[in-house]
Structure 1
């Protein structure tokens, strides 16, 4: 695996064969076919203790208003930290949100978050879910009070940050240590690009890759398979969700949403900002025959994307090479 690893903590007093899984070095790994990340861990020193604290917080439903919903409820590892169970976020008191929960990985390379780009900092991104009435439905003050009075959190904060102090900044930094380490860059596609172990695309996958580069790469650019822009892809003539314009106030941004990554797309359905499509065939059919033409429709989609049955099979075969099973099954990221 050709990864450039930044080592940040190590139990140097033990031999390698004596180190338990819990003591294994936590690293932020940059795949060699990726550019430099946007997030800088120099301001949030990664440690095993900080990562463990962040993971515990991520999976703790007691942080929500009715103690029923955690970050991990809407961001499930087996779905590449997307939400397989619901078209839109499903929060406290059985409340239904209005947007699909996006997958969480490679966040350290993003400069804006959510479908509308309304948050510009990875560390503050959890605040949206914490305070949204249809997600966790609570506030930072209530969470801090809970953490201060509930074991083992005081000791975990002390181990992570060297102090018994528990505040919003440390809460968010620890969550970021967990979320920031969620790097997905070891799919078959990545191994082919890095020329690892003689791995190559099948004839069908290669044909799909050629089709992808001809039809999709202008929005879903490599290596992240998104250019992180906001576009209208013709889902509706008039969107019921204002999208990006809610943030910018610009009329031409109405109904525009961030181009989602296609990495791990085999497991991140349902698709689109509102989860309206349950499978890839529905997505491809939308681009084939279902594209509407609002005034701000992206220019690359004015004629849709016409693919015959054979070509759809080929492009789906390529898209499945973006699945990173090592990431999805990595027990380091699991709740238990």
Structure 2
């Protein structure tokens, strides 16, 4: 007995010391309790929503009662959104809170049971993020959306019927239970994950929350933003260091009060909210992370992330990491490589005709566009298929061209080189020219220490990519104001930004801070939209370009991609007209009118474009509101980047993608 007591006692002491150390250093037990409680509260609301849908179907309650329960459920979801979307982004997008649009099924499965369980059982065995995508794989198909955003749009538009409500709330209950089970199985929620998830949620609140993206029907965005802020304040509280308690608490409190006192969605001052609350919270939570000396997921995995975690401002020049989007990595880049890429960019000799370079269609003074509806080819007066977009910030995308047919910058350049309407040549011919030019070979030698080796295709592509990566612009007057480097901004610009991010719905496709279709908060997916561009502004004829559906990418010839085009950035847009993929709109005023009228469907062409994703409803913008939006768009021009690249260039020329 004494011997057993002698053996057990040290183990008890070690266990106690371990628990004390664990509690003092990690705060994991507190975090887990908070998260599971938040998740359980959402589970109760999901159950209540499903019960309410059943009651509505039985005629026991009015639709208004179901809508009230939906608002409660959505607010509760915002209380757990930060961690659910951090761990299970695919599952969340597909089943819990994805956009209300028909889309390609991310997991088209057959019902065959040739694995360990039937397919229907397998898809409910774990979050979508964890399923083996080759199990039961079927051919691609288009499916209807589901989840909270769909319910929000249907119930508040009055378009939902009882069967839809029952189906959607029932599926929500099933798919949420999968996530709930996964959360409960997690023994630990690491402090660094909580901090990353919380800062990610701040991005989401600003880019997808207060823009109305998440609430297409109810526009209950401000109340939901409060719920999301309260949730991350609660979960980060155990991690906040003593020196940061007061500023963190004050910021959360005043942000909550600011939202509470806002009059309504349309008049909400989003710019003040960004400057005084979102950006300061984003910065102070980083300081908490650093003071606790926490690691990051990027450091643990060794893989670059799209968002630079150590950036302190959503509009900082270093907010996104350009090297995440390129085959060229930061350690391989250099000033010498960039200058070499610049020389290639403006060299007409690389095209077969000797009359085109990348700079022909992408001219610095026009923000690297060319001012043409469609760029001229090297042969006569023919044009290419589409308008030449700006190359400034073009690196920030996961796919390229208007139709998303290219998956990296290097391939994009390769397609221009081979296109018979553009460079009309190939890599062997270009490399032969380069290797026959001692100026080029000496320059490549200095970068790569080639010595007697010929310049390779990858070296050529890396040099050109390096120059394209350097074409970044986050120094407009608007950027400087948001960062506090400029004290004032015109009231009409402020109004324009608030309209862009609110009533006018621009920010629900042109996501901040790039104001492009790179989807927040992860910034790793480039989005296409069917907005119904007309052949000419005043003609009721839909432009006949099939867009993404004709990109020849495997499994993308789908109905939802007919006339779908990449959402390009509106930064420097005042310099890049004419506009849209067909270059048919000459002024920003025409573009704003186009959106105000609801695209093709809005002018009576819904039958010709049944899959339009732009709302056909008029925005009912006043003359002043249209003027304000244009003023904001003009404030995004970055004169510093034009000065940086413009004066040193002699001839203007043609190359990288126009589409």
**Structure 2 length-normalised TM:** 0.44
What is the match of residue 427 of structure 2? Answer: 140
Q: Contact 2:532 / 2:542 at 8 angstroms: preserved in 1?
A: no
Structure 1 residue runs without a partner (length 5+) = 1-29
Q: Measured at CA, do residues 67 and 307 of structure 1 come closer, stay the same or move farther in structure 2, by a change above 3 Å?
A: same
2:547 to 239, 243, 266: 243
CA distance in 1, matches of 2:364, 2:646: 11
Aligned residues: 304
2:584 to 276, 281, 292: 276
Give how far 1:139 is off: 1.1
What is the match of residue 50 of structure 1? Answer: 337
Residue by residue, what CA displacement relative to the aligned partner does 1:156-200 show, whole Å, maximum 9, x if unpaired?
1111211042121111010001111111010011112211142x3
CA distance in 1, matches of 2:318, 2:329: 22
1:262 to 554, 560, 570: 570
Moved more, 30-39 or 309-318: 30-39
Residue by residue, what CA displacement relative to the aligned partner does 1:82-102 show, whole Å, maximum 9, x if unpaired?
121x21122211331110111
Asked if residue 326 in structure 1 is aligned to residue 640 in structure 2, the reply is yes
1:35 to 298, 312, 320: 320
What is the match of residue 209 of structure 1? Answer: 497
Q: Contact 1:103 / 1:268 at 8 angstroms: preserved in 2?
A: yes
Give how far 1:51 is off: 1.1
Give how far 1:334 is off: 4.2
Q: Considering Cα pairs closer than 8 Å and 6+ residues apart, tell me whether 1 or 2 has the greater RCO.
A: 1
Residue by residue, what CA displacement relative to the aligned partner does 1:69-123 show, whole Å, maximum 9, x if unpaired?
0000000101111121x21122211331110111102233211111011111122
CA distance in 2, matches of 1:49, 1:193: 33
CA distance in 2, matches of 1:297, 1:334: 44
1:89 to 362, 375, 379: 375
What is the match of residue 219 of structure 1? Answer: 509
Greater share of helix = 2
Q: Contact 2:559 / 2:611 at 8 angstroms: preserved in 1?
A: no
What is the match of residue 305 of structure 1? Answer: 619
Q: How does 1:78-157 map to 2 (within 5 A)?
A: 78-84=365-371, 86-94=372-380, 95-157=382-444
CA distance in 2, matches of 1:332, 1:48: 18
1:69 to 356, 373, 380: 356
Q: Contact 1:287 / 1:306 at 8 angstroms: preserved in 2?
A: no
1:190 to 453, 473, 479: 479
Q: Contact 2:598 / 2:619 at 8 angstroms: preserved in 1?
A: no
Q: Contact 1:235 / 1:290 at 8 angstroms: preserved in 2?
A: no
Q: Contact 1:211 / 1:315 at 8 angstroms: preserved in 2?
A: yes
What is the match of residue 174 of structure 1? Answer: 463
What is the match of residue 530 of structure 2? Answer: 232
**Structure 1 length-normalised TM:** 0.85
CA distance in 2, matches of 1:168, 1:323: 35
CA distance in 1, matches of 2:331, 2:344: 17
Q: Whose radius of gyration is greater, 1 or 2?
A: 2
